[in-house]
Amino acid sequence: MKQAAVILLVMVLATGATFADILTFDAADDFLLSNPNGAWSYGSTASPGSAFGRFTSTSTAFFGTGILAHNTSGTSFNMPAVFKNPNATTTTVFGTLFMAAGSLAMHPGNVSPTFTVTRWTAPQTGDFNIFGGFSGAASATTDVHLLHNGASIFSDNINGLGDTALFSQTVSFSSEDTLDFVVGDGGNGFGSDSTGLNAQITSIVPEPATYALFGLVSICIFALRNRHRAPLKFE
């Protein structure tokens, strides 16, 4: 086994192969008022999976507060929208919307396209863990969805303040694939439908060179273990 360890060390030094840097994304922490914003973009659709249009308006005082938003200009309450509380304390709006410090929320609209979308675009091919959930930030009655390239991989409903819909999945992506976090009005109007989004995405795939490296090491270890064994004889 000492020889196997030496082989592994030599191969690592010779090839420079390492595990890929783990990529991590957080929908709330990464939020900025640029669109697109790195792997993230913000917009709306007429229905889950239909054509995506990016928001073209932003606000630094959404709802008349210090909340930051990507939103739709000229509609009722400038909805649909995706917005974040950047403050160090909980912000309460109209006595019904409660946003914890640093949290992100989404709100559908009442004029098509009504579904609000936070979109993540895969920066590389590989498997990614998707973890988090939607939650009622107000007396929300919304339908919530995760879509991979427009196809549903998760759907649920939010019914009231504090209600949650949690997700945890591992998904294989090709570079430039999309993952949409979608909120609709639940089919009963868009009033008080602010819905929190907590989403983390983490890569879990090592570089191809690492696979090759450990495959070669396995072969070497197997050979070393069997070198001194007597050959099988068939009589």
The CATH number of whichever domain residue 191 belongs to comes to: 2.60.120.340
Assess whether 33 and 109 both reside in one domain.
Answer: yes
Domain that holds residue 184: 21-205
d(CA 91, CA 100): 7
Q: Is the pLDDT of residue 168 over 80?
A: yes
Residue of higher predicted confidence among 138 and 223: 138
Domains of the chain: total: 2
Assess whether 26 and 54 both reside in one domain.
Answer: yes
Assess whether 4 and 88 both reside in one domain.
Answer: no
pLDDT class for 94, splitting at 50, 70, 90? confident
- Residue 47, SS3 per DSSP: coil
d(CA 176, CA 174): 6
Residue 7 — φ and ψ, nearest 5°? Answer: -60, -45
Tell me the per-residue pLDDT of 174-200, one tens digit each, with 9 for 90 and over: 999 999 999 999 999 888 999 999 999
Mean pLDDT within 9-19: 43
Assess whether 196 and 218 both reside in one domain.
Answer: no
d(CA 158, CA 26): 21
Residue 234 maps to a domain: no
Tell me the per-residue pLDDT of 102-141, one tens digit each, with 9 for 90 and over: 999 999 998 888 999 999 999 999 999 999 999 999 999 9
Assess whether 183 and 102 both reside in one domain.
Answer: yes
Angle in degrees, 0-180, between the axes of helices 208-226 and 2-15, rounded to the nearest 10: 150
Mean pLDDT within 35-54: 97
d(CA 69, CA 167): 24
